[in-house]
Amino acid sequence: MIFEIFFACWRIVEFVTLIPIFSMLASLIHVYIRNNALTPTYILVLFIVSVLGAGWTIYTLFSYHRSHTNARFVAFIDLCFIGSLIGAVYQLRFIGHQSCGDATADAFWNISFPTATGTDSVSPGKTCGLLKASFALGIMNCILFLITAFFAFLIGRKKKNQKEVVVEETHYSRHGHRRSGSHRSHRSTHSRRSGSYV
């Protein structure tokens, strides 16, 4: 029971930390869409993984009875999300060395588009801050998904052990019932035979 509670609590933490990632990145993607431009890979990959991860956490929380019985499958999917998050964070690794206070408009990751009325842009400091926060939360979720995968594996192992115990008890009780029944029938046959000789 304790593993199930820990699993559910860490799932909630994952969901709470994934929401800011795709919310912040969605605001940056919106600028690219508004200017009919392609969104860079380092933004898009982490955005997609965080949206899918949030969906997965919600699914496993609300269908807990189903994920409870398929705990090892849940652990496997969590490990897949760890790999996806590592790949997404790796795409955004350059932002970890940036100083957002000294961010300049000519940085390659800065969002700026010329328009007919001027320039459609996000301030370099804000862009840097959003990317750096998403980067940090992405790393955090790698650890969180590792924790939930571990708890899901423990739940799956516990369920497997319980199932094996139930199967053994059922087999033992059936075997014992057969023996006692055959013993009774043997005894009644013997008594009938002895009665017929009298």
pLDDT band at 167 (very low <50, low <70, confident <90, very high): very low
DSSP-derived secondary structure for the chain: -HHHHHHHHHHHHHHHHHHHHHHHHHHHHHHHHHTT-PPPHHHHHHHHHHHHHHHHHHHHHHTHHHHHHTHHHHHHHHHHHHHHHHHHHHHTGGGGG--GGG--TT-TT--EEEETTEEEE--HHHHHHHHHHHHHHHHHHHHHHHHHHHHHHHHHHHHHHHHHHHHHHHHHHHHHHHHHHHHHHHHHHHHHHHHHH-
Please determine, for residue 165, whether its predicted confidence score (pLDDT) is greater than 60: no
pLDDT value at position 42? Answer: 94
**Confidence at residue 161, expressed as pLDDT on a 0 to 100 scale:** 52
Q: Residue 190 pLDDT > 70, yes or no?
A: no
**Closest C-alpha to 91, from 55, 43, 31:** 43
The residue to which tokens 């090892």 are assigned = 72
CA distance 46 to 131: 10
Confidence category of residue 177, pLDDT binned at 50, 70, 90: low
Does the pLDDT value for residue 16 go beyond 50? yes
pTM for this structure? 0.76
Which of 9-23, 74-88, 108-122, 160-174 is predicted least confidently? 160-174
pLDDT band at 76 (very low <50, low <70, confident <90, very high): very high
Report whether pLDDT(197) > 50.
no
The token pair at 27 is 């605001």
Query: To the nearest whole percent, how much of the chain has pLDDT over 70?
Result: 75
Tell me: the pLDDT tens digits for 105-120? 888 888 888 776 777 7
Residue 195 has pLDDT above 50, yes or no: no
Position 58 pLDDT exceeds 80: yes
pLDDT at 147 > cutoff 50: yes
